[in-house]
Chain A
């Protein structure tokens, strides 16, 4: 209705509807009685030599059906919204109907979720129906970024490798999903030095994970890594408290190889995981969290590093 803001349109539509209904009824009354003098079975029209138009009376039940539609239409317009912007006597609205449906569904679901909310991740991960629900939630809410196999892609973390930027404990995962995360790597080129230094540091970072690198350049870069160590740690293993990446494993969120690493040092990057607390209920977050946890614990056993 956004194009028809004026209240006049509402009156116009209501009037048009009422007049149409009345006209239908009038038409029925006016045409229900014959007008001419004598009786004949045809209208007198003849086509193709012998094709005559018959003028048999309509069956009365047909007329009754017609009246029923008019009565139904009138009743409907009284009870439901339809006459312009009139609300109808029942006060029905599609929004209210939807909310009612949702309330009903929530009530039915809360019974299911209540059972799961009390279960810790390792226990929940073994519950097949719970994981089926978790997978649905993941596909509908998470897969758009993390991929439907949860392995992510460039810029979107792989959730199956048990490598966690912000921690892989139950509490950390729930926090990540509920409130979201912002991962911020500032541009570090100036802090590291000139373009050659950036290249050296990139080689050093590659060396941390034994990736192919220039050994001499890495040696030159090692002292410059001090600037990075504030966040990534002197050993380059990162810090889950601030979400800095572990540089010693062969996992590259923002691209593999020297060029990608230099781009990160030169430009930095702010990566956002949006908060889900307004999209999902606490219980849903619990189940989808357990599903995510289960992806890196396929044997169902919590290992020391993440739990």
Chain B
């Protein structure tokens, strides 16, 4: 075989190592990983987060609020209800704000303690955890599952696999149902379920979202993190040498290997062994199937299952805990204690992330708190530029759009200023029903002499819209427009 030439550059020409045996497939069927179940401090925390996030996701659509669903995204009417908030598509800036906050939180947490999000709160992890739990209920733990997979088909295998599938599909559909429940009032969805009368998009999203959950949590699992997730890859860019990451303490652990039970921790030096007994439990519990003892790898989602597993072993051997632990690269190199590593948390990068995050959160909160429960838009009427009416008065027509972001009826008073004598000729008092958006023609007139004084052309005019509820303690909303005097 002749090696392929490589482009000449700073390397010059160098031999290329032949890559793969001829005729072998460049694509590999991924081996199914059967993580062993693990108990411990971090594992408990993961379950706490599973319960919290899923209680939130599955529970929120059922929460009533102001006589409607507390969180409802009404795409048809383009109103988004979040507890007391009524948002319009025009309020998407808040979603942007939320995403920026999420991004900065991710940066901050990752820089401090690695892929915490991945290991504990990411839906991919959470649903995989739930699906694994079901798999364990039906098929047993790692060894039993490996044996079952290898066993020939039998009634026992069929019922275990079938039961698991049924439970998975049920959870997937329930997840799809809940997801759609954020867009269609969930009680409507319940009555539609009873009659199986979902709309086409409801059908699509229940089945599609359900299938995506089933596929991602039942089959794709770590593949999603390894090959699909962009965040997984760029989170490594947030690491530095002072980031707390799941680490194997090579100094303590090596040389690894079996040892007689009689040798205690004190006697390790004598038989020149490290603390690692090479039980491979850390590998067996790993949901991405890596060996943490090889150091930090891009597959590691920071779930700390190996920390729990190893601590259990250390406890049994009566060795000190923490052979695998959250530690920084600097800390491991210089054999720092926990306190010394934590002291390095407040480094410039963290302070910058933290400050930016705080500023954005504060800005977002202030903006939401000061938000007016209505929006106004003034548009000049496209049909009529200007007209002369009774008594030679000049009249312009505007379309006033009033959007109420309140769940009670609101009353407004409209006035104009900026042109002497200008006045609203149509009714200046406007009522807007709850969460309604109305388009209203508004006529503004200027007396003949004032119009004469202005001369032909467009003149700046300001609309002032006052909400009755704000009278006396808030400024009216001001909207710019123009008044046209014809030739």
Give the interface of A toward B (CB within 8 A).
31-40, 42-45, 55, 57-63, 139, 143-149, 151-154, 156, 250, 252, 255-257
Contacts and interface: CB of A to CB of B under 8 A. Distances in A.
B423 to A, nearest CB: 16
A59 B397 contact: no
Contacts of B6: 45
B443 A37 contact: no
B201 interface: no
Contact of B20 (A34, A154, A252, A256): A34
24 contacts: A32-B27, A33-B24, A34-B20, A36-B22, A37-B18, A37-B22, A38-B21, A39-B19, A40-B17, A40-B18, A40-B20, A45-B6, A55-B19, A55-B20, A61-B220, A139-B439, A144-B382, A147-B384, A147-B397, A151-B384, A152-B384, A153-B384, A154-B486, A250-B390
A252 B389 CA distance: 8
A162 to B, nearest CB: 14
Sorted nearest first, the 4 A-B pairs with minimum C-beta distance are A34-B20, A149-B441, A36-B18, A153-B384
Residue with the greatest number of chain A CB neighbours at <10 A, chosen from B15, B30, B397: B397
Contacts of B28: 57-60
A59 B24 contact: no
A31 B399 contact: no
A59 B388 contact: no
Interface string B147-172: 00000000000000000000000000
Contact of A61 (B21, B223, B385, B386): B223
B27 A62 contact: yes
A148 B441 contact: yes
Contact of A33 (B3, B26, B439, B486): B26
Given A36-B20, A36-B22, A148-B399, A57 B27 contact: yes
Contacts of A60: 25, 27-30
Interface in B222-274: 223, 227
A37 B441 contact: no
Given A32-B25, A35-B22, A60-B28, A148 B16 contact: no
B16 A44 contact: yes
B228 to A, nearest CB: 10
Interface string B383-411: 11111111010010101000000000000
A57 B19 contact: no
B197 interface: no
Contacts of B26: 31-34, 57-58
Contacts of B388: 154, 252, 255-256
A147 B17 CA distance: 78
Nearest to B24: A34
A144 B25 CA distance: 67
B23 interface: yes
A273 to B, nearest CB: 14
Nearest to B23: A33
Interface in B37-70: none
B1 interface: yes
Contact of B443 (A42, A139, A151): A151
Given A35-B19, A153-B385, 19 more contacts: A33-B22, A36-B18, A36-B21, A37-B18, A39-B20, A55-B19, A57-B20, A59-B223, A60-B30, A61-B30, A143-B382, A146-B383, A147-B384, A147-B397, A148-B382, A149-B381, A149-B397, A154-B486, A255-B388
A256 B392 contact: yes
A256 B27 CA distance: 84
Nearest to B392: A256
Contact of B386 (A36, A145, A153): A153
Contacts of A40: 17-20
A40 B17 CA distance: 7
A153 B383 contact: yes
Contacts of A38: 17-18, 21
Interface in B136-153: none
B19 to A, nearest CB: 5
A180 B404 CA distance: 39
Nearest to A46: B11
B426 interface: yes
A148 B401 CA distance: 13
Interface string B290-325: 000000000000000000000000000000000000
A223 B29 CA distance: 105
A210 to B, nearest CB: 12
A129 to B, nearest CB: 15
A151 B17 CA distance: 84
B227 A62 contact: yes
Contacts of A42: 17
A132 to B, nearest CB: 11
Contact of B387 (A43, A55, A154): A154
B387 A37 contact: no
Contacts of B383: 143-148, 153, 156
Counting chain B CB atoms within 10 Å of each CB, the highest count among A34, A60, A144, A256 belongs to: A34
B28 to A, nearest CB: 4
Nearest to B227: A59
B282 to A, nearest CB: 22
Contact of A149 (B14, B426, B486): B426
